[in-house]
Copies of this chain bind each other. A is one copy, B any other.
Amino acid sequence: MLPLLLLLTPCAEPPVAADLVVHNGKVWTGDAHQPEAQAVAVWRDRIFKVGTDAEVKTLVGRDTKLIDLKGGRLVPGFYDSHVHFLSGGRSLSSVDLKDAKDEAEFGKRLGAFDQNTSRDRWIVGGLWDHDRTFGGALPTAATVDKFVKDRPVFIRRYDGHMGLANSAALKLAGVTADTPDPPGGVIYRLADGKTPSGVLKDNAIALVDRHIPEPTDEEILEGVLAALKAAAALGVTSVQDLDGNGPETRRKLFRTYQRLARDGKLTCRIDLRWPIALYKDLSNTGAAADFGSDFVRIGGVKGFMDGSLGSSTAKMFDPYTSDAKNTGVYVTPTKLMQSYVRGADADGLNVCVHAIGDQANAVLLDIFAEVAKQNGARDRRFRIEHAQHVRPEDYKRFAELGVIASMQPYHVIDDGRWAEGRIGAKRCASSYAYRSLLDAGAKLAFGSDWPVAPLDPLPGIDAAVNRRPLDGGHPDGWFPEQRITVAEAVRAYTLGSAFAGFQEKDRGTITVGKLADFVLLSRDIFAAAEKDRIADTKVTMTVVSGKVVFERK
């Protein structure tokens, strides 16, 4: 902090006045050079001064917008490294099944939504949770038929890795007893071993999905606007959008982002990623990864090694507890994944790949190591999305290979309710292993995986710090040795994601020269007394590019 001595006299109108000054706050900058401050001045879209109230107030001019933070805690804008932004936005107006406590409630919600939705549409989304709603048993087409029979329904498990179709949907899609399981996917069958039950896993989801009409331009815009509104209220100022849409939808989504940016309406910065299988299309345009503006850009490509824990399709070394024959699935054959990664990397694209199971992670680390050797040294920052179950011997490989673990801490408290039932306690000890990864020197980037989990970063930060599953089952923390500090969690959710996106030079901390994105919280989450209430913290104000995009009334 500069001593007041240096200013001989305060100036009246400063030579250049800040556009915005926020003062009287407790600013956690995330910047080791100046970790705490009281005030921040903004000029245009950039942070221009960080310091004491006295220092920063020298930049107040006639037209400067002044905001009193009232002693509140200011942090850098949250950067969510893993969302499905359009799905998330559309889920806000979809049927909401996630916390239905039993079949009756499930049916009631589905029925009500059916009544209120025009008949020409499929019912999709839902984000059901069979552990919570059906006591762990999988529902069937017949279950859904009880409530909605006369139009197609294809609702997803909240992790996206299972879909549940009613009979109308199965019929429209032509999925029958004669339909074989596609590679990397499973068509659940009834007791006869043939009749589809209604549940489809991973690559089998496409058998029905492809019959669902793509969203219209209007639905895409509505979804994005809803997502932007949600993000602003939750202090999320940047996201890496890992997409998940069909090619036509992705194209329209990308255009929508650009159009909104052009009109100054994009209140959350977007980094959009393409499916790795189509990396050549991206290469062929000539547009490299990171091409774009401060508001919208092409981030790179994304692939999937395996499925998910909840669907028992994450690829593990050893079988699932419930089924000695099941070690999960590779949704992309490993040799094909290697060729994609090699090709995309050779073309200079940034690569991130989903790997949940311990074998998927180990094999993916092998692939990254091999490709780095084949293609030669460069600042490449491979990412593993989720890195959920990792063998202890593999922690250090993240650090050695410079592979970023892009993780979503809310999963700890969500999956923590039943994970041991899937893979046993021993493997859970090296799952969601934030402490071990950080101690091994790995870099973390945090995100939400919205809509698989809520977009709100604060429950995620609470989860990383306290590890208390949602059902109250482990009040002292589930594998508490994996807990990390609040500062480590916030860092991963700000600078960590920026670094993962090659943007650490202009985001992720409150530093002079960086983009003016920051968030005022209702609680000082760094205070020891608040440690157990981080999830109850709300965002009071969100600033993006020096403009207030949200204020809690």
Q: A-side interface residues toward B, CB under 8 Å? A: 2, 6-9, 11-16, 41, 43-44, 46, 48-49, 55-56, 58-59, 250-255, 258-259, 262, 281-282, 284-288, 290-294, 296, 298, 348, 513
Residues of chain B lying within 8 A (CB to CB) of residue A258: 286-288, 290-291
Residues of B within 8 A of A8 (CB): 9, 11-12
Complex Cα distance, B288 from A11, in Å, reads 46
Residues A48 and B16 in contact, CB atoms below 8 Å apart: yes
- Which B residues lie within 8 Å of A253 (CB)? 286
A291 CA to B259 CA in the complex, in Å? Answer: 10
What are 13 of the A-B contact pairs (CB < 8 Å)?
A7-B11, A8-B11, A9-B9, A9-B11, A15-B55, A16-B59, A253-B286, A255-B348, A258-B290, A281-B285, A287-B287, A291-B293, A292-B292
Q: Which of A2, A11, A254, A259 has the most CB of B within 10 A?
A: A11
Residues of B within 8 A of A259 (CB): 288, 348
Partner of A13 from B6, B44, B56, B513 at Cβ < 8 Å = B6
- Quick one: given A9-B9, A46-B44, are A285 and B285 in contact (CB under 8 Å)? yes
Number of this chain's copies in the assembly equals 2
Interface centre among A48, A288, A298 (most CB of B within 10 A): A288
Structural contact, B293 and A252, CB atoms closer than 8 A: no
**Cβ contact within 8 Å between B254 and A287:** yes
On whether the beta carbons of B251 and A285 are closer than 8 Å, the reply is yes
Contact B288 A255 (CB under 8 A): yes
Residue of B nearest to A60 (CB): B15
CA–CA, A500 and B296, complex, Å: 22
Cβ distance A337 to chain B, nearest Cβ, rounded Å: 24
Closest to A272 in B: B286
Contacts of A298 in B (CB 8 A): 287
Q: Which residue on B lies nearest to A347, using beta carbons? A: B255
Q: Within 8 Å CB of A41, what residues of B? A: 15-16
Cα separation A298 to B293 with both chains bound (whole Å): 11
